[in-house]
Amino acid sequence: MQGSDLIDLGGQVAIVTGAGQNAGRATALELARHNAGGIAVNDFVAERAEAVAAEIRAMGVPAMAAPFDVTDLEAAKAANVAITAELGAATVLINNAGMAGPGGTIRPSQNFWEEDPSNWQRYLGTNLYGVYNCCFAFIPNMVEAKRGRIVTIVSDSGRVGEPKLAVYASAKAGAQGFVRSIAKELGRYNVTCNAVSLSSLMPDMSEEKLAEMMQSDHARNQMARYTIRRYGKSEDVAALVTFLCSNAAEWITGQTYPLNGGYAPSA
């Protein structure tokens, strides 16, 4: 396949965090389709990680489950050792894990000054420190190999601001700044670092419930802010991330790409 595929990963081993479901799963599968040398599937739920790894192995691509919480630096470092032993050193890192950490959900609720400060760490831990931890654990592989790709999933909340999600938005904005900085540090090693900024993705629910939700005033008001009037799909994310990891994107670094259907925030 190598040489005939524009979106070619050149046999690199990849780790995708938060890949047990949704966009992370779609990304892991898409990377496997484009000449990845192996895929490590991270999720904090081991069974989900193994299920996706099994799907990838069925495609004929080496894969393993790498269950750990990205907020735990020592766990990330241990995962790197295990991945290197089984698949080889990972030189592609997709920082996809996000939201409010294990089991958490994002729901705008209170003004910042009305929040319980004990909740801040849920957002900062996964969306900012999780990115730090995984980069710290896996970047040495890339420096040694003198090649690599880092793609971090961020949010339009961090690009344009989001009321009642100030801490989440600040964590995502911080991740964008971090990406731009390490891009400058890693360029000499042929490692690119970019971010993909998402708006709302298709909710994970049955077709019946989704059809009902799309008729709601909330969904209609949301869709009115999108030029392409639908929610994003996991496959949309997977396609852009895979391109940024490929040989075709070797001169793209330090950038944040909005993937949002032409989203425009309300005044």
For helices 22-33 and 234-245, angle between their N-to-C axes, nearest 10 degrees: 40
DSSP H or E segment with residue 24: helix 22-33
Helices (H) and strands (E) in the chain, counts: 10, 7
Question: Going by C-beta distance under 8 Å and a sequence separation of 6 or more, which residues neighbour residue 58?
Answer: none
Whether 129 is catalytic: no
Q: Which of 168, 231, 257, 263 is catalytic?
A: 168
Residue with tokens 């069925």: 58
User: Do 226 and 262 contact (CB within 8 A), yes or no?
Assistant: yes
Per DSSP, what are the bridge partners of residue 90? 13
Are the beta carbons of 42 and 98 closer than 8 angstroms?
no
Asked if 109 and 164 touch (Cβ cutoff 8 Å), the reply is yes
Residue 45 CA to residue 43 CA, distance in Å, equals 5
Residue in 152, 149, 159 with CA at minimum distance from that of residue 129? 152
**CA neighbor of 146 nearest in space, from 189, 97, 86, 102:** 189
How far is the C-alpha of 196 from the C-alpha of 176, rounded, in Å?
9
According to DSSP, residue 119 is labeled G
Residues 6+ apart with CB under 8 A from 118: none
Q: Which of 60, 66, 90, 97 is nearest to 79 (CA)?
A: 66
The catalytic residue positions are: 168
